[in-house]
Amino acid sequence: MTEAALQLEGRRQQLHAHVPDAAVSGAVHVEGQQHPIKLYLVVWGWLFVLSTFSYLVDYFGLQGYLRWSLILLFMVLKAGLIVAVFMHMAWERLALSYAILLPPVLVLVFVAIMVFESEYTHLIRVLSFAAPT
C-alpha cells in the first residue's frame, strides 16, 4: 500500500518535470482520483466472488425467503462496491453523494405503491376471472 503510494509520488515528480505548463495551470498538482491498482483488483475479485454466490443460489435451487434475501444481499453488496470504489463515490464530498444516492431511495415508495396495486389487481383477477373448477 505504502509502496504504491511512494511509486505514485515518484511518478508525479516525473510528471512535473515533463509537463511544466500543466503543472503551472494546477492540473497535475491535484490529479483527480488516485488509488493503487491493487484496490481495483481486490474489488474486481470480490465482484466475481459475489456473482458466483448469486449464481450458486440459483444453481442449488434455493427457494422462498432464503433465496430472495440472499439474492438481495449479494445484489446490494455488488452495487455498493461498484458505486463506492469503481465510481469513486467513497471519495466524493457528501454534497454530491447525497444528491445522487438519496433520490433513488424514494423509488422504494413507488415500489410499495405498486405492490399494493398489483395485489389488488391480482385479487380482482382471481375473483372475477377464475376458471370454474
What are the cell numbers at 48? 466475481
- Rounded CA-CA distance 127/119 in Å is 12
Residue 124 CA, chain-centre distance (Å), reads 38
Q: Going residue by residue from 64 to 103, which x/- string records binding to another protein, judged by CB under 8 A? A: ---xx--xx-xx--xx--xx-xxxx---xxxxx-xxx--x
Give the nearer residue to another protein in terms of CB position, either 2 or 130: 130
DSSP-derived 3-state class of residue 26: coil
Minimum distance, C-beta of residue 101 to another protein, in the bound complex (Å): 9
53 interacts with another protein by CB under 8 A: no
- Rounded CA-CA distance 89/79 in Å is 12
What are the cell numbers at 36? 493503487
Give the nearer residue to another protein in terms of CB position, either 2 or 25: 25
- Rounded CA-CA distance 120/94 in Å is 40
Place of cell 483488483: 41
**Rule CB under 8 A: which residues touch another protein?**
8, 11, 15, 19, 25-27, 29-35, 37, 40-41, 43-44, 47-48, 51, 54-55, 57-59, 61, 67-68, 71-72, 74-75, 78-79, 82-83, 85-88, 92-96, 98-100, 103-104, 107, 110-111, 114-115, 117-119, 121-122, 125-126, 129-130
